[in-house]
Amino acid sequence: MQLVEPRPQRPIPIRITPLIDVVFILLVFFMLTSRLLPVDYLELANNTSASRQVAGNPLPLLTVTADGRIQWQGKALTVHQLTSELAGSGITEANLATVPNATLGAFTRTLSALTESGIEVHWQRPAGTSP
């Protein structure tokens, strides 16, 4: 007397439908729990009040224009001209702003050049804009 049936000769096929269901459930779970950030904004720390006192001269305002030049004291300068003038004036800290149609590339080039020349830069967001 045989208590267990013998194994069939052909292999039992793996049912893929439940596996696909599990994959879709995992996909939905990770899509709902992940945090998506906008890619067109550059997040920078902008806490100038904690790092310096209010007394003294205000920080110079540098504005990046649409053509990549930087306006300072009514003059439009290139990045290299600006860094040499700031170093000559003994300025080690400045606020950096942009006009609305300035490119992100011009902003990052200016920010990098000023940081590399030893100037501490604070990004100033224009009034009325939100991320």
Q: Identify the pLDDT of residue 126.
A: 60
CATH 3.40.50.1820 describes domain 58-123: no
Q: Identify the pLDDT of residue 103.
A: 85
Q: Identify the pLDDT of residue 27.
A: 94
pLDDT in tens, the chain (131 residues): 667 777 767 877 778 888 899 999 999 998 888 876 655 555 666 665 555 555 667 788 888 888 888 888 888 888 888 888 888 888 888 888 888 888 888 888 888 888 888 888 887 666 555 54
Q: Identify the pLDDT of residue 96.
A: 87
Cα–Cα distances in angstroms (integers) from residue 29 to residues 24, 25, 33, 85, in the given order: 8, 6, 6, 55
